[in-house]
Structure 1
């Protein structure tokens, strides 16, 4: 009796996954309403590019919950300065910054990074649940992988509705970053800034220089 039940559950899970992958991006209509944003910042250039991208969004894209690695003090300072300088209306719902354990430090052995990635993934459950975003925006840092995985899992389970947007860095001309390669088949939209990259990965969208 148990085997048929498990088989049916497995079949349902496979069909559900196929349906979600087939309809990625189909519900991407965020215009004309307030959009809660979960923005994942990396270190250095990733954060700078992300903030330039956010600066082009209207005030409808609020509140913004920023996710940074717990060891990334520089990004926290950049975000605070960005939000201080940003012109918003009196009804602005603001922003918050939350931290997540870093999935992998620079030069960290790949074997030990499996454990740190698992820790980061566990931390991601509450971040995605509490922020309940309409839009998840990321542009390449490894920190985004656990968050995107949980957001996709919630969508798979039918308890989340987040649209995952991945904007590949301007420095990626002919090949996707590791994060881009992982998310290529699972994000709702992937923006690339070079024609050569779009030709190699046709499911992406070539949008020219956006940052």
Structure 2
């Protein structure tokens, strides 16, 4: 009995790996069609907005202001656990929307604010960062499963890597589909940031947007959108 179970497991493993590879290829091939599963243009899109610190947050908030608020709702803002300023900026912005909306109670419910563990703090040793990276990844997976975002917006902070990787893993496993929009910072003129390079090389981002033409020429799968910030 034990031998039969062991043999069955050995036979099932290659099949499982093959299916996983096929699914990975399918997800990679279909990236770039972010909202294909929405039946109407009026449908609401649950979105996750990743905030970095300093300039990253300022740039992302510029992108958020251009969104159709009645369409991209509810909005979930996520920042690193040690970054309170970014969430405060998002809260101030969302509060400003309440002041101009007729249904203030509904508008207040359109935004939620969350924090996530950092993979690595500035100055932290690489050895100790192994444990914190694992913790951040598990936390990111929990957030993605809880929120079930249909769209993820990010623009460079390292905080986005575990979130995007978790969303991509769920797509490969067939447990959800999140379209990832990565907007490279305008400060990146000649080369991508480390976060951008990872998402580009691993084909995790569905839409990869750069703001300088020379970057698009260097990374042909990127979309040149001109200056957005």
Whole-angstrom CA distance in 2 between matches of 1:188 and 1:45: 23
Trace 1:6-25 onto structure 2 (pairs within 5 A): 6-25=13-32
Deviations, residues 82-132 of structure 1 (Å, cap 9, x unaligned): 111234452434211111111111222233222211111111122111111
Taking a change above 3 Å as real, the CA distance of residues 144 and 27 of structure 1, as seen in their structure-2 partners, is: closer
Q: Structure 2 length as normaliser, TM-score?
A: 0.87
Whole-angstrom CA distance in 1 between matches of 2:63 and 2:198: 22
Whole-angstrom CA distance in 2 between matches of 1:164 and 1:199: 21
Taking a change above 3 Å as real, the CA distance of residues 23 and 144 of structure 1, as seen in their structure-2 partners, is: same
| DSSP 3-state at the match of 2:124 | coil
Aligned to 1:76: 87
Cα shift at 1:27: 4.5
| DSSP 3-state at the match of 1:17 | helix
Deviations, residues 19-71 of structure 1 (Å, cap 9, x unaligned): 11111123434643211110111111111111110000012111110111111
Trace 1:84-123 onto structure 2 (pairs within 5 A): 84-86=95-97, 87-88=100-101, 90=103, 91-92=106-107, 93-123=109-139
| DSSP 3-state at the match of 1:165 | strand
> Does structure 1 residue 203 correspond to structure 2 residue 221?
yes
Q: CA RMSD in A?
A: 1.4
| DSSP 3-state at the match of 1:190 | strand
Stretches of structure 1 that go unaligned for 5 or more consecutive residues are none
Stretches of structure 2 that go unaligned for 5 or more consecutive residues are 1-6
Highest CA radius of gyration, 1 or 2? 2
In proportion to residue count, which structure has more helix? 2
Aligned to 1:182: 198
Q: Structure 1 length as normaliser, TM-score?
A: 0.95
Whole-angstrom CA distance in 2 between matches of 1:98 and 1:110: 26
Select 2:60's aligned residue among 50, 64, 84: 50
Whole-angstrom CA distance in 1 between matches of 2:220 and 2:102: 39
Whole-angstrom CA distance in 1 between matches of 2:117 and 2:138: 10
Determine if contact 2:154/2:183 at 8 Å carries over to the other structure: yes
Taking a change above 3 Å as real, the CA distance of residues 55 and 116 of structure 1, as seen in their structure-2 partners, is: same
Aligned to 1:33: 43
Whole-angstrom CA distance in 1 between matches of 2:77 and 2:141: 15
Whole-angstrom CA distance in 1 between matches of 2:34 and 2:124: 38
Aligned to 1:145: 161
Count of equivalent residues? 211
